[in-house]
Structure 1
Amino acid sequence: MKTLKRILLLLAVLLLIAVFYNYPKLNILAGYSAKYASSSVFVADRTLEFTDKTDLDFAPINLASDEISTEEKWARSSAFGLLTRKAIYREGLGSVLITDESDLEKNSLVPKRLTPDNITPYPYGNAAQKDTVFTNIDYTKLNETVTSIFSDSTKTRAVVVIYKDQIIAEKYDTGFDKNSKILGWSMTKSITGTLVGMRQFEGKMNVQNKAPITAWQNDPRKEITIHNLLQMNSGLEWDENYDEISDATQMLFLDKDMTKMQAKKQFVGKPDETWNYSSGTTNVLSGILRDNFATHQEYLDYWYTALIDKIGMNSMLVETDLSGNYVGSSYGWATPRDWAKLGLLYLKNGTWKGEQLFDKDWVDYATTPTPTSDGWYGAQIWLNAGNRYPDIPKNMYSFNGYQGQNVFILPNEELVIVRMGLTKKADVNSFLSGILKSFK
């Protein structure tokens, strides 16, 4: 009996040690599951069952157990019963992880939205487009190419191909259609970058100015410019890793104010010489944008009234953190058709329905390769200048996100191509080149 008690005591001690060392991982695991479940159900209008079987069905996230309250609009996730995280949905602001119940009592400002244009044909409105057949397109080959990227291995959910303002091909996976909101993850960074370009066009900001971060003003970091931040080339330390505890996962699933973590980091390199992809950097930019307005309400409204709703991305919702900052790095939800509209805005050099939203030179600026990025990155935009896709023109650029969210812009070909899925395993080079080959 004594031996059994000792064994049980040893096992209990080992369990406590295991829980102690893995507690941070359990915290992020449950946080990811709760946050995504809440957004999927209350932002994207999916069921929890569908979400658990698709979006959250990967290790180790699938180890969490989820529940929701449709009346109170929250999702709760438990990691082995040892730790539970809760995310709440707030109308107009999206879902957010809370740290304690007192967070529920906070009164949050809500952004004002513009009325959708459901009369004008797509893409300038949301009505059905007029049928147009282009004689220079082999539609059979085009549709075969689009169909080929849908499979169990690629987990593609949506493809939209736009040529000369017309949708020439469109396909959705089971459970999705043209009205389905899909999380763009880091494609949201391109929204944030665009807003900076718009503020510069309005004379309210200059990207060549030093970044107005108070904590940097008394040390060498004061030399970092907004331009350095846009190019992810500040020289600051950052770990962007979604497979373990990292700066990125701690920020997204633990922080109340996501604009601060990157700002606390020290140099590991030099500005303009050390490219390092960082979601924290984009959220610093979101904080700079917030401080660029006189009030918090103006900041909230601007994202929609000046850009998102202005170009008819009416399905989009960019979620905020607990401090009211847009999570400009990661949390933009919209339909594939609406994500395509941002690509069209760039294709048109910032002009929308006759109005110039940002300087036409902004596209050249944003697609200029960042030093030390090997031609992969510009200003919150991914590039093909480094020939990442060898069969695609080098001047192609894209908005990219986690798990294979993409808006590809091919300026010479007048094409915008959206592909959204749950994995980056798809052969994007063959997919894009196949679309190009369908043109006679």
Structure 2
Amino acid sequence: MHTKTRTWSVAKSIAVTLVGMLVDAGKMELDAPLGIEWLPKERSSANDPRDAITLRNVLNMSSGLYTVDSRGMEYATGSGLSYWAGASSANGARDRGLIRNPGTYWDYENYDTLLAVLAMKNALGDATTYLEFPRKALFDQIGMRNTLVGTDRFGDFILSSQVYASARDLARFGLLYEQNGMWNGKRLLSQEWIDFVRTPTTAAGQVNSLYGGQWWLLDDSRDDVPKDAYAARGNRGQYVVVVPSRDLVIVRRGLDYGRQGFDVWDLTREVVKAFPEDYVSEGE
């Protein structure tokens, strides 16, 4: 319960929380361009079509940039190079060409998350503020005392995957969302931002609107799980499920290699059975 283990892509939901705090504070804008210096550098950066990519686009996994990790080569050519091979996560994210109009096509890509993280770094202004921000803004506020955010060797947070946290810390994180951004009477995250992360991306295409803003949504076809359930999901069995209508947060830590068939919504269904609808009113 207290041991730090890797969250994998649950980290993305932590990333969008930190970004949301800056949007709430007026330091970032959801529908503004990222303001990133793209690679490779040209003699003139004027009229780079990538300048049209917004924060919303990357948080919805619809930047329109050439995808790397979704092609199954992430450990050879993609973001994995910053995990274990000493590459720059920020440079890898911004050294991609535009192949579609931003916001028109959903494609799950670690580098899109890392573009949002780079924009967050730029908004915070200096390295010290940036490196202290997750702890001061979020972890210390809700008691996530056993959580560590990894960086690459250049000091950039790898918030697509490299976060290590305990099960209790992840439960606290989920509880922040279950309580609609409130913690001990203090608002840490706006209701508007929570609504954003739970709203299906309009570019979802082939995934049946299962994705919001760095959180996964319930399949429309399921009628055995409350419709308001949503989840942070990580590779190899890491899940934080929030079910607001049942006042529930479910944390599942795993080490599932290969295709083992674990279904987080089946787990949610079984847990919900233990908490009938009248449990909420009785608890109140």
- TM (norm. structure 2) is 0.87
Determine whether 1:277 maps to 2:108.
yes
Among candidates 202, 209, 233, match of residue 400 of structure 1:
233
Give the superposed CA RMSD: 1.8
SS in structure 1 of the partner of residue 90 of structure 2: coil
Among candidates 403, 410, 420, match of residue 243 of structure 2:
410
Segment drifting more, 330-339 vs 238-247: 238-247
Determine whether 1:438 maps to 2:274.
yes
Determine whether 1:426 maps to 2:257.
no
Distance 2:241 2:214 in 1: 14
Distance 1:361 1:225 in 2: 18
Counterpart contact for 1:366–1:380, Cα < 8 Å:
yes
Aligned position for 2:54: 225
User: Residue type matched to 1:198 in 2?
Assistant: M
Q: 1:252 to 1:218 in 2, by over 3 A?
A: farther
Q: 1:217 to 1:317 in 2, by over 3 A?
A: farther
Aligned position for 1:238: 67
Among candidates 355, 358, 383, match of residue 217 of structure 2:
383
SS in structure 2 of the partner of residue 361 of structure 1: helix
Distance 1:262 1:238 in 2: 10
Highest CA radius of gyration, 1 or 2?
A: 1
> Which consecutive residues of structure 1, in runs of 5 or more, have no partner in the other structure?
1-177
Aligned position for 1:192: 15
Q: How do 1:13-412 residues align onto structure 2 when only pairs under 5 Å count?
A: 178-215=1-38, 218-240=47-69, 241=72, 245-373=76-204, 374-387=208-221, 390-412=223-245
Distance 2:79 2:88 in 1: 13
> Identity, % of aligned pairs?
34
SS in structure 2 of the partner of residue 317 of structure 1: strand
Q: CA deviation at 1:255?
A: 4.3
- TM (norm. structure 1) is 0.57
> Greater strand share, 1 or 2?
1
Counterpart contact for 1:260–1:284, Cα < 8 Å:
no
Counterpart contact for 1:257–1:322, Cα < 8 Å:
yes
Distance 2:88 2:37 in 1: 16
User: Residue type matched to 1:223 in 2?
Assistant: A
SS in structure 2 of the partner of residue 321 of structure 1: coil
Q: CA deviation at 1:180?
A: 1.6
The number of equivalent residue pairs is 262
User: Residue type matched to 2:215 in 1?
Assistant: I
User: Residue type matched to 1:439 in 2?
Assistant: F
> Which consecutive residues of structure 2, in runs of 5 or more, have no partner in the other structure?
39-44, 277-284
Q: 1:192 to 1:245 in 2, by over 3 A?
A: same
User: Residue type matched to 2:255 in 1?
Assistant: L
SS in structure 1 of the partner of residue 26 of structure 2: coil
